[in-house]
């Protein structure tokens, strides 16, 4: 969100006063890059910004509008492409279950389409959660209903099936997830799909995280 000149001064201060620092990373929303030119992103990369965590949440425009994200498929792609063109490593986060029961299929399909279009270096999924309650989401998303555990697995299976990634490190190991998944896509795609399908058909054999152990 900060002006590029201020970010550059911060990066310079880190380099000058903390020479042992090996990697500088940042969180960002796609809209944080909307007003920054490719040249500005290139300058941040050259100054030491090596990795950015991007909360995409979904690749589906209807889901993004319903949760008032303020982004679209295209704006998220544009931001990820700017980072990639600058040689900045991108870690993209998708929220499993964000579309609820109503929009689950298109949430899975278009989130996979977003990843395929941008080929991020890292991709992670978290289960949507509401530490302060679901009221705010329901107010802007009439008819939203949460997915149960099995429906989350079905959505994950659909998402993974739609991915066509060349060399992306995939992680679904956040404490919110019932099923821990780790691998590289596409090399490990079939193994990951087998794990999810096992959780759908025989959850008792899938080594799921117990409910008491799940959290934010």
pLDDT tens digits, 93-104: 999 999 999 999
Above 90 in pLDDT, residue 129?
A: no
Assign residue 151 the CATH number of its domain.
3.30.750.200
Q: What's the pLDDT tens digit per position in 36-76?
A: 999 999 999 999 999 999 999 999 999 999 999 999 999 99
Contact 93, 141 (CB under 8 A): no
CA distances from 130 to 11, 53, 106, 135 (A): 34, 21, 22, 9
Query: Among residues of the chain, what percentage have pLDDT more than 70?
Result: 98
Angle CA 141–145–146, to nearest 5: 120
Question: Across-strand partners of 53?
Answer: 27, 91
Question: What is the predicted pLDDT for the residue at 215?
Answer: 73
Question: What is the predicted pLDDT for the residue at 216?
Answer: 61
| Strands of the 49-57 sheet, one edge to the other | 24-28, 49-57, 89-96, 122-127, 168-172, 181-185
Q: How far apart are CA 49 and CA 26, in angstroms?
A: 8
Into how many domains does the chain fold?
1
Residue 98's domain comprises 4-213
């Amino acid at each position: 969100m900060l002006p590029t000149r201020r970010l550059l001064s911060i990066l310079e201060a880190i380099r000058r006063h903390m020479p042992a620092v090996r990697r500088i990373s940042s969180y960002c929303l796609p809209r944080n890059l909307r007003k920054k030119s490719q040249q500005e992103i290139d300058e941040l990369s050259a100054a030491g910004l090596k990795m950015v965590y991007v909360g995409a949440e979904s690749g589906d425009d209807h889901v993004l509008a319903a949760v008032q994200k303020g982004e679209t498929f295209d704006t998220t792609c544009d931001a990820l492409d700017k980072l990639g063109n600058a040689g900045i490593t991108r870690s993209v986060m998708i929220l499993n279950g964000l579309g609820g029961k109503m929009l689950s299929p298109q949430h899975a399909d278009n989130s996979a389409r977003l990843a395929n279009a941008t080929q991020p270096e890292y991709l992670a999924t978290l289960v949507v959660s509401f530490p302060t309650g679901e009221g705010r989401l329901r107010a802007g998303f009439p008819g939203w209903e949460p997915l149960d555990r099995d429906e989350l697995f079905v959505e994950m299976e659909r998402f993974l099936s739609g991915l066509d990634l060349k060399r992306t490190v995939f992680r679904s190991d956040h404490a919110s997830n019932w099923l821990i998944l780790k691998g590289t896509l596409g090399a490990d795609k079939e193994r990951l799909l087998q794990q999810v399908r096992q959780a759908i058909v025989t959850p008792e054999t899938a080594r799921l995280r117990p409910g008491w152990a799940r959290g934010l």
